[in-house]
A and B are shown apart, each in its own frame.
Chain A
Amino acid sequence: GIQVEQSPPDLILQEGANSTLRCNFSDSVNNLQWFHQNPWGQLINLFYIPSGTKQNGRLSATTVATERYSLLYISSSQTTDSGVYFCAVLNYLEGSRLTFGEGTQLTVNP
């Protein structure tokens, strides 16, 4: 099946810093989503982005499907950005099962 690798596994920032999280995948995809899981367990869908670039406030994401990677940018980080960021992908030939990466644990210190 499709493999998903996220980097870095852990990231510690000071409030106000910028960061880039990466998601590499091993095969073509027709669905790629970024999620944020807060410390209380809630998984929030940040972006549905199988290709191209999207922005939502301080967050933006870019997927280069031909090169099989996606990037999540967080600018001017805040303590509320802390948590785990998951990338999840789906190749339509594998049905409806999203494959999740292992996540990036982000800690933003005040």
Chain B
Amino acid sequence: DTEVTQTPKHLVMGMTNKKSLKCEQHMGHRAMYWYKQKAKKPPELMFVYSYEKLSINESVPSRFSPECPNSSLLNLHLHALQPEDSALYLCASSLTQRSTEKLFFGSGTQLSVL
């Protein structure tokens, strides 16, 4: 199983809503990532978890709150988002956070903030 599963595939939310994005992998990977991608641009790193601990936060606004409940699951909690936060949110995983690892992506959540 070389799959990273993300839910939901699409999400529309208002600026006052609270929602969560979910990501799951069963490859035994111990590093998990959240990326944000705007149309026609490459993915931008947001957060990295290594062995269920937050190891990188790329100065992401606090309205985005990551959580790693266990080694297979990664959540991204959303609250009071702005329209400019509309984007494709991608989860990824790798065996470890070592610099030589291969990255596997989920299919993403297309988020629209109204």
Contacts and interface: CB of A to CB of B under 8 A. Distances in A.
Interface residues on A, range: 20 to 34
Interface in A22-72: 30-31, 33, 35, 40-45, 48, 50
Nearest to B109: A41
Interface residues of B, number: 25
A30 B108 contact: no
Contacts, number: 56
A110 interface: no
A41 B110 contact: yes
18 contacts: A30-B100, A33-B102, A40-B107, A41-B88, A41-B108, A43-B92, A43-B105, A43-B108, A45-B102, A48-B102, A50-B100, A88-B42, A96-B31, A96-B99, A100-B43, A102-B41, A102-B42, A103-B42
Interface of A: 30-31, 33, 35, 40-45, 48, 50, 86, 88, 90, 92, 95-98, 100-103, 105
